[in-house]
Amino acid sequence: MKVIAQTAALQEALTLTGQLVAARTPKPVLQCVKLVAADGVLTVLATDLEAGVRYQLGAVQVEQDGEALIPAARLAGIVRESADEESLTIEADADACHVRGAGSHFKIFGYDPGEYPAVADFDGDGDCRIASDALAEMISKTLFATAKAHSHYAISGVLCEVSGKKLQLVATDGHRLAQAKGSLADAAGRDVTAIVPGKLMSLIQRVAADDGETLEMKVEENQVLVRTARAVLVSTLVQGNFPKYSEVIPKEATHKAKINTAQFEHRVRQAALLTNEESRGVRLAFGSDEVVLTSRTPEAGEAEVSCPATLDGEPLEIGFNPAFLTDALRVIDADEIAFEMSASNKPAVIKAGTGFLYVLMPVDLG
Amino acid sequence: MPFPSDGASIRPLNRFRAAEDGCYPETMSIHVLPTPLVNKIAAGEVVERPASIVKELVENALDAEAGRIEIAVEDGGRKAITVTDDGIGMSPDDLKLAFVAHATGKISDDEDLFAIETMGFRGEALASIAAVSHAHIRSRRRGAESGYEVSASGGEIAPPRPCAASAGTAVSIRDLFYNTPARRKFMRTTATEFAHISEQLARLALPHPRVAFRLTHNGRESANLPPADSTAERVADLFGRELADALLPIRPRGDGVSVAGLLAPPAAARSSSKWQYCFVNGRYIRDRLLSHALREAYRGRIDVQRWPVAFIFVEIDPADVDVNVHPTKIEVRFRNGNQVHGALLAALRETLNRANLSPTARLGDSPASSEGNDRGEPASETPPPSSHDAPSVEAVAHDDNHRNTLDDARRHSLRQALADFLKAAPPRQQRLDFSPHANQAGAPPAGTDATSPSTAAPGPSGRLPLGDLGAPAAGHGAGDAAAAIMQVHNSYIVAATDDGIIVVDQHALHERLLYNDLQRRLAESDGTKLTSQRLLIPETVTVAPAEADALNRRSELLDRLGIEVQAFGPRCLAVQRFCALLAERGVGAADFVREIAGTLAEDDTTNPEQMLQRVLAMMACKAAVKAGEPLSEDEMRDLLARRREADKAAACPHGRPTTLTLTLAELARQFGRS
């Protein structure tokens, strides 16, 4: 194999694929990326056995087809330190891989490319197509709410529901739930329901955020595949039953407040300064024209900040984990949110813009 | 714990045999026992072993206002015990009655019995002792012209006769148990009996520091305690200067019950409760209330299998304590036990809270290793007092060739830690290098990437939320903000202090801080509860019926912890609310409830307060940063800054130390710079 690749493009490819390369693993091949040169294209492959990526570099000149399996960190380091070079030549034979720049030559010992696990490719048509920036936004509005602990595996992913021309993402960690709705580019070939691992979602986000292209998505028996112009992302699906989320979304509310998003977020952050590890809670007292946020740490002190808000309904006091509020508030683009509650021990709902809904449970401040 | 009763297991066998042999007397007539036999029987209670005689005789000397007491023992007390004092002495009339049972000069009517201020009062001791030995008393009253002597042998009393004597009294007891062969057999080796006598001396000498004591064994001086100004001095003479210097004085408090004394820091805890000396009105006693108070005060500061060293003196109105419970007066009964317990516990806690309790790391013999995890340590501790030349625990490395491999391993691991300290420094620099990876525009959502730098808001990223507490990390402990700090093996924090290096176990310290926070929070007022996060989707947990039952009965406890469970089908519970601290740290509600259920079901007898403390310790442990979790520098600084503000931070709730200190002086010594 011999290719001449643009350094910048190579670096981009290695940065993305590097996300799936394990730092520590008993299998050394999993610390590698696989390079495949064929048909005038260089493909960089990486997998952690759950998720995989195939990234195609167009800006290359393939001199000789072939494959190489190279330690990822080593190669990424060389490319990073060769940023001043326009291009690098990568040549691999049975013994080693040679990376050459204008005044540099690196010889890296790799592994047999045949030992690398297969990374599925996106064949045929997808189930649905969606604008990449729209999907990236929906992911950012839900991904934060997934469960981080291993205890409840089914909610460690994002529920992805395709129906007609609509796509819906739902994530929850058992304390709060985020839901984002969006439109597909055209009607989907079939309805799909799948739990996509958070890791793949954040990969999609990285690939999708930069340009206005259209992504294709396909769900097979136990895996999901996403195709962009340059990359194919694949992952096994999260198995298990996602909770019946529609049951926990309150249907009505007796107290509805409207608050400026940025101001509210700012005030919540301020109030959070005087919470502590053991009593993470901010008390929100909704009055007719403002909401007063108070917090207290017994040995440290207290905070009281207020924020204009219009309330429809009786005054209400309710406590929240401030992180649960700021997590949602910082991904909302709309200027104003609707904050809907019915009691201090019942779930509250934040609605903003089109298609974003966030349910959060209050805390009981002892 | 029930004592295995030898008698109980033997008796039926004997009875069986007796019946078989037909040995039961046909008729039994009841008659009053002759006095010598009564005294012999009494001797069984009072005179357990030679040390009991020392106790009785020295107490008599103390009651006689002695300023100097000499105890001479031969062959562990089996051959002879002589106690000589310079007290007020006895008149010939006194001497006549000295060996008569229930003859005493210390009390005279009922009322005296309930206001006892002397050590003895029962009037049994000398009579009992004389019944089982050859006893001899020589005494001269202060100011009297001549002395008298009297002797008794196996209960046969000879009349007093004049003799030459110095002021005071000398009692000598020879051939103990000569006429009761069974008891004689039960005496142990000379060394054992003498060890008991030494221990007895400590119990007698501690509450009377102003009285000089001298103990000789077979003519050789074993202890010489000059009159001391304070108990601490007496402790130094008995147990060595090192222990005495480490002791924390209990500030005397007085409201009905006055408590004074000295406590050793947790690091000096021993593997036996022998080192707890409790005195009530100057009398050594063993009392469950008092030892419980000690255990409570040290709970969470020392390992559960170790015992604090303490010297406690309780002064209480004699009318409020009954010492006439046990012939040797080793047990007493308080009229108001709870008050005594409360006063003592308060005094002990106050003392411990006041003190800085970080153990000091020693390269040679670190308290961490001897106080810490090695449960199976050799029980090499000798019974206390025989030595005022107690061996120093602090061995100097280069002049000790008999250092065992354990010590070597320990030194090696510390050396390794220091080597790692130095080796690991360069990577810190590298991390500051500008990496194009980290230079992405638009921060990813918190938590999607475990290595993402912590965002400004307290994100639920599962990371230790210490750096974002709002407390300005840099402002904390500005004095050493610039000082070197680092994490080794993602488990220990090593930091420079003004006078050396501290090594902190990150999990143990964080656990301790959380435990304190939780405790403080619940102690704020009676009804306070922990902040509780409601669950949007209740977690279900399957438990055994006994566990469900235990949870049910302790719903109040759970409520205080911010946990609410509801029945959800047979053997199934749904967690509706969960402690916010644990929820935030990603602890599974179902798993934790299952664990609590197990604990509650198992340990149903413990009182609610103890149960609460146990569960709090469990919570702190779950929520605390684990060993192996990397910490940012800010997080480390914050943790260390809080170490200083927190009391009891010297040990985690399980009693393991959180911090080891390696002083510059120790370093200098190890490097031969001193």
Q: Residue B625 corresponds to which amino acid?
A: V
Tell me if A304 is assigned to some domain. yes
For position A78, what pLDDT does the model report?
94
**DSSP notation for B226-247:** ---SSHHHHHHHHH-HHHHHH-
Give dist(CA B641, CA B635) in Å, integer: 10
Let me know whether A103 and A67 are in one domain: yes
Tell me if A17 is assigned to some domain. yes
Range in B58-72, B407-421, B527-541 with the lowest mean pLDDT? B407-421
φ and ψ at A212, to 5 degrees? Answer: -90, 35
* Better-scored residue on pLDDT, A72 or B427: A72
Nearest to B447 among A144, A347, A362 (CB): A144
Mean per-residue pLDDT for B181-208? Answer: 85
Report whether pLDDT(B89) > 80: yes
CB contact under 8 A, A201 and B461: no
Mean pLDDT comparison of B197-206, B478-487, B600-609, B655-664, highest-scoring range:
B197-206
Range(s) of the domain holding residue A80: 2-115
Report whether pLDDT(B586) > 90: no
Neighbours of A280 (CB within 10 A): 27
Q: Which of A366, A358, A365, A364 is nearest to A176 (CA)?
A: A358
pLDDT of B140-189, one tens digit each?
888 888 888 888 887 788 888 888 888 889 999 988 888 888 777 777 78
pLDDT of B301-341, one tens digit each?
777 777 888 898 888 888 888 877 776 777 888 888 888 88
Tell me if A365 is assigned to some domain. no
Domains in chain B (CATH in brackets) are 7-222 (3.30.565.10), 232-354 (3.30.230.10), 526-623 (3.30.1370.100)
Range in A209-213, B80-84, B105-109 with the lowest mean pLDDT? B105-109
pLDDT of B229-246, one tens digit each?
888 888 888 887 777 888
CB contact under 8 A, B580 and A273: no
Q: A-contacting residues of B 494-523, CB under 8 Å? A: 514, 517-518, 520-521
* Final residue before a domain boundary, out of A115, A147, A165: A115
> Average per-residue pLDDT in chain A?
90
Let me know whether A97 and A74 are in one domain: yes
> What residues contact B622, with CB distance under 8 A and at least 6 apart?
B582, B585, B587, B592
Tell me if A122 is assigned to some domain. no
pLDDT of A38-87, one tens digit each?
988 999 999 988 899 999 988 889 999 999 999 999 999 999 999 888 99
Residue A181's pLDDT band, with cuts at 50, 70 and 90, is very high
Give dist(CA A83, CA A73) in Å, integer: 16
Report whether pLDDT(B421) > 70: no
For position B606, what pLDDT does the model report?
63
pLDDT of A166-175, one tens digit each?
999 999 988 8
* Better-scored residue on pLDDT, A84 or B481: A84
Report whether pLDDT(B91) > 60: yes
Dihedral, CA of residue B625, residue B631, residue B635 and residue B641, to nearest 10: 80
Residue A96 sits in a domain whose CATH number is: 3.10.150.10
> Average per-residue pLDDT in chain B?
72
CB contacts < 8 A (A, B): 155
Let me know whether A74 and A107 are in one domain: yes
For position B464, what pLDDT does the model report?
41
φ and ψ at B107, to 5 degrees? Answer: -135, 160
Domain tally, chain A = 3
Which 8-state DSSP code applies to residue B499? T
Instruction: Provide the residue count of chain A.
Output: 366
Beta-ladder partners of B315: B258
Report whether pLDDT(B438) > 80: no
Residue A336's pLDDT band, with cuts at 50, 70 and 90, is very high
CA within 13 Å, CB half, A156: 14
A164: left (phi over 0), alpha (psi -120 to 50) or beta: left
Nearest to B562 among A83, A202, A364 (CB): A364
B591 touches chain A (CB under 8 A): yes
Give dist(CA A72, CA A46) in Å, integer: 9
* Final residue before a domain boundary, out of A213, A246, A279: A246
**What element of type H or E holds B612?**
helix B608-623
Report whether pLDDT(B633) > 60: yes
Residue A179's pLDDT band, with cuts at 50, 70 and 90, is very high
**What element of type H or E holds B345?**
helix B337-354
Beta-ladder partners of B532: A364, B579
For chain B, give the percent of residues with pLDDT over 70: 69
Tell me if A293 is assigned to some domain. yes
B471 touches chain A (CB under 8 A): yes
φ and ψ at B103, to 5 degrees? Answer: -105, 125
Report whether pLDDT(B477) > 70: no
Residue B107's pLDDT band, with cuts at 50, 70 and 90, is low
Tell me if A333 is assigned to some domain. yes
CB contact under 8 A, A176 and B442: no
Q: Which of A297, A293, A270 is nearest to A282 (CA)?
A: A293
Mean per-residue pLDDT for A256-265? Answer: 95
Q: Quick one: tokens of B406?
A: 């354990």
On chain B, the residues whose CB falls within 8 A of the CB of A173 are: 460
Sign of CA dihedral B540, B543, B549, B553: negative
On chain A, the residues whose CB falls within 8 A of the CB of B433 are: none
3 state DSSP class of B396: coil
Range in A341-350, B358-367, B538-547, B636-645 with the lowest mean pLDDT? B358-367
Let me know whether A77 and A155 are in one domain: no
B456 touches chain A (CB under 8 A): yes
Q: How far is residue B602 from each of residues B488, B550, B620, measured CA to CA in Å? A: 38, 9, 20
A287: left (phi over 0), alpha (psi -120 to 50) or beta: beta
Range in A163-167, B94-98, B105-109, B629-633 with the lowest mean pLDDT? B105-109
Give dist(CA B183, CA B46) in Å, integer: 13
Let me know whether A12 and A93 are in one domain: yes
End-to-end CA distance of chain A: 67
For position B115, what pLDDT does the model report?
62
Q: Which residue has the tokens 């000096």?
A: B268
Nearest to A299 among B520, B534, B584 (CB): B520
CB contact under 8 A, B530 and A175: no
Let me know whether A160 and A83 are in one domain: no
Tell me if A123 is assigned to some domain. no
Residue B447's pLDDT band, with cuts at 50, 70 and 90, is very low
The answer to whether B147 touches B171, Cβ cutoff 8 Å, is: no
* Better-scored residue on pLDDT, B346 or A139: A139
* Strand ordering across the sheet containing A97-100: A60-64, A2-6, A87-92, A97-100, A105-108
Q: Residue B571 corresponds to which amino acid?
A: R
Q: Which of A338, A348, A322 is nearest to A259 (CA)?
A: A338
B146 touches chain A (CB under 8 A): no
For position A232, what pLDDT does the model report?
93
Q: Quick one: tokens of B114?
A: 């309930």
Q: How far is residue B72 from each of residues A199, B81, B84, B210, measured CA to CA in Å? A: 82, 6, 8, 20
Let me know whether A157 and A193 are in one domain: yes
Neighbours of B413 (CB within 10 A): 12
Mean per-residue pLDDT for B572-586? Answer: 85
Q: Angle at the Cα of A113 (from A110 to A115), degrees rounded to 5?
A: 105
Q: Which residue has the tokens 């049975």?
A: A94
For position A348, what pLDDT does the model report?
94
Q: How far is B567 from chain A (nearest CA, A)?
A: 19
* Strand ordering across the sheet containing B500-505: B485-488, B492-497, B500-505, B659-663
Give dist(CA B285, CA B38) in Å, integer: 26
Nearest to A363 among B446, B458, B580 (CB): B580
Indicate whether this complex's ipTM tops 0.90: no
Q: Alpha helices, DSSP H only, in B177-331?
A: 181-186, 190-205, 231-239, 241-246, 288-298
On chain B, the residues whose CB falls within 8 A of the CB of A330 are: 457
φ and ψ at A319, to 5 degrees? Answer: -110, 145
For position A168, what pLDDT does the model report?
95
Q: How far is A95 from chain B (nearest CA, A)?
A: 30
**DSSP notation for B42-90:** HHHHH-SSHHHHHHHHHHHHHHTT-SEEEEEEEGGGTSEEEEEE-SS--
On chain A, the residues whose CB falls within 8 A of the CB of B563 are: none
Report whether pLDDT(B465) > 80: no
For position B555, what pLDDT does the model report?
83
Interface test with B, best of A278, A279, A293, A333 (most B CBs within 10 A): A278
Let me know whether A107 and A155 are in one domain: no
| For chain B, the helix, strand and coil percentages under 3-state DSSP, each to the nearest 5 | 40, 20, 40
Q: How far is residue B635 from each of residues A57, B451, B487, B517, B640, measured CA to CA in Å? A: 41, 15, 11, 17, 9
Give dist(CA B365, CA B307) in Å, integer: 19
* Better-scored residue on pLDDT, A4 or B653: A4
Beta-ladder partners of B540: B574
Let me know whether A227 and A132 are in one domain: yes
CB contact under 8 A, B460 and A363: no
Q: How far is A162 from chain B (nearest CA, A)?
A: 23
Nearest to B586 among A148, A319, A361 (CB): A148
B586 touches chain A (CB under 8 A): yes
Q: Which residue has the tokens 């070197």?
A: B484
Give dist(CA B541, CA B551) in Å, integer: 12
For position B108, what pLDDT does the model report?
67
Tell me if A121 is assigned to some domain. no
Spell out the SS3 assignment of chain A: CEEEEEHHHHHHHHHHHHCCCCCCCCCHHHHEEEEEEECCEEEEEEECCCEEEEEEECCEEEEECEEEEEEHHHHHHHHHCCCCCCEEEEEECCCCEEEECCCCEEEECCECHHHCCCCCCCCCCCCEEEEHHHHHHHHHHHHHHCCCCCCCHHHHEEEEEEECCEEEEEEECCCEEEEEEEECCCCCCCCEEEEEEHHHHHHHHHHHCCCCCEEEEEECCCEEEEECCCEEEEEECCCCCCCCHHHHCCCCCCEEEEEEHHHHHHHHHHHHCCCCCCCCCEEEEECCCEEEEEEEECCCEEEEEEEEEEEECCCEEEEECHHHHHHHHCCCCCCEEEEEECCCCCCEEEEECCCEEEEECCEECC
Counting runs of H as helices and runs of E as strands, what totals does chain B give? 23, 23
Report whether pLDDT(A107) > 80: yes
For position B298, what pLDDT does the model report?
84
φ and ψ at A317, to 5 degrees? Answer: -110, 135
CB contact under 8 A, B537 and A243: yes
Let me know whether A161 and A135 are in one domain: yes
For chain B, give the percent of residues with pLDDT over 90: 3
Q: Which residue has the tokens 């106050």?
A: B350
3 state DSSP class of B599: helix
Give dist(CA A158, CA A242) in Å, integer: 9
Let me know whether A255 and A241 are in one domain: no
> What residues contact B328, with CB distance under 8 A and at least 6 apart?
B45, B46, B48, B52, B55
Instruction: Provide the residue count of chain B.
Output: 674
CB contact under 8 A, B465 and A248: no
Mean per-residue pLDDT for B72-87? Answer: 90
pLDDT of A45-57, one tens digit each?
999 888 999 999 8
Let me know whether A143 and A109 are in one domain: no
On chain B, the residues whose CB falls within 8 A of the CB of A143 are: 445, 448
For position B123, what pLDDT does the model report?
66
CB contact under 8 A, B458 and A322: yes
On chain A, the residues whose CB falls within 8 A of the CB of B520 are: 298-299
* Final residue before a domain boundary, out of A212, A246, A280: A246
B526 touches chain A (CB under 8 A): no
Q: A-contacting residues of B 416-455, CB under 8 Å? A: 435-437, 442, 444-449
Q: B301-329 burial, b for 16+ CB within 10 Å, e for fewer?
A: bbbeebbbbbbbbbebebebbebeeebeb
Report whether pLDDT(A100) > 90: yes
